Amino acid sequence: MQDILDHITATIGQNPDRGKTARYIPDLANVDLDQFGIAVCLADGREFQSGDAATPFSIQSISKVFAVALALGKVGDSLWQRVGREPSGLAFDSIMLLEREQGRPRNPFINAGAIVTTDTYLEGSTPKEALGGLLRFVRDAAGDGNIHINSAVARGEMQTADRNFALAHYMRSHGNLTQDPQHTMGTYCHQCAIDMNCIQLARAGRFLLGGIEGLGPRLVHKTRARRIQALMMTCGHYDGSGDFAFRVGLPGKSGVGGGILVIAPGKASIAVWSPGLNAYGNSKLGTEAMEALADATDWSVF
Ligand code: DON
């Protein structure tokens, strides 16, 4: 495995086109494009890493995986009355389908769906308490207390969140937002601003491997883990989800910070990071690296 990762790290940057960083969050726009890291936690407990695997980055939408697990833990399957389980085929921040579908977002991984998910785990607590609960979940999953929210990133995002606020208010007009939109959006922006490195993220993803003995605490039932992976496969890369399934064949969740969390069911949790994004807003080199890793390991589920 170490040879495979080192080979990917050595060869991945050969194409001079490394994509573009997300422009709309000031602290993400200036991240150095030359970085690349990858970490793999195998189901047998062995861990491997290569490149900038210890460099922290903003996990952004990858947080939606932890948020949906937390919300499901709180309200169970009633979450699905407020958010669907179908791919949207549209950009992560699109508002288009919300009007046609009465303010019920297609899935918990597009922004509208994630805002409803945040609204759900926020209910009954303050934003600070709710974020404390989310951080606890992520730290427990990673077995690492040194995971924090980057408040500068959160602030920057709050200041540029007009479209997310529009989504929140639109859903509220349909009765699909129960908390003060300012609180829900503040919680959502802070949730997206969690910093992690590839090693921490790959470790945190092990909770989706289905409670394999000795692999950290069992945070969700294996049926729920399986369903979250199904959503990652079908919706984890927005309108690029089909392309990721085609090229990699594994459930994954991307974020505009350039990270991707990928699960090889029953085999491994993988985190890859490179800040340059492709046209869908998913890490360009991260996707290419996952394609190479899936080829080399034969881990595609297909
Ligand atoms: O809601 C937003 O705009 C971001 N904080 C998260 C978006 C994101 O990561 C989309 N992923 N590719």
Look up 256 and say whether it is catalytic. yes
What tokens does 51 get?
A: 């490149």
Q: Is the CB of 288 under 6 A from ligand 1?
A: no
ipTM higher than the 0.90 cut: yes
Task: Give pLDDT < 50 ranges for the chain.
Answer: none
Pick the CATH number of 2-60+195-297 from 1.10.357.10, 3.40.710.10, 3.60.150.10, 2.60.40.1180: 3.40.710.10
Q: What confidence score (pLDDT) does residue 147 get?
A: 98
pLDDT in tens, 78-111: 999 999 999 998 888 888 899 999 999 999 999 9
Known catalytic residue at 238: yes
Active site residue 50: no
Say if residue 101 carries a ligand binding annotation. no
Query: What is the number of the ligand 1 atom nearest to the C-alpha of 281?
Result: 12
Q: Can you give the pTM of this predicted structure?
A: 0.96
Domain boundaries, given as residue ranges, for the chain: 2-60+195-297, 63-193
| Range 63-193: architecture per CATH | 3-Layer(aba) Sandwich (3.40)
Residue 3 alpha carbon to ligand 1 centre in Å: 33
**pLDDT score, position 211:** 59
What is the pLDDT, as a whole number, of residue 175?
Answer: 97
- Of the candidates 31, 58, 83, 188, the residue annotated as catalytic is 188
Bin 76: left if φ > 0, else alpha if -120 < ψ < 50, else beta: left
pLDDT value at position 93?
86
Annotation marks residue 61 as catalytic:
yes
Fold match, 2-60+195-297 / 63-193: yes
C-beta of 254 in contact with ligand 1 (< 6 A)? yes
Residue with tokens 């709050």: 158
Q: What is the pLDDT of residue 215?
A: 60
Burial of 175 (0-12, 13-18, 19+ CB in 10 A): exposed
* Residue from 213, 222, 199 nearest 144 by CA: 199
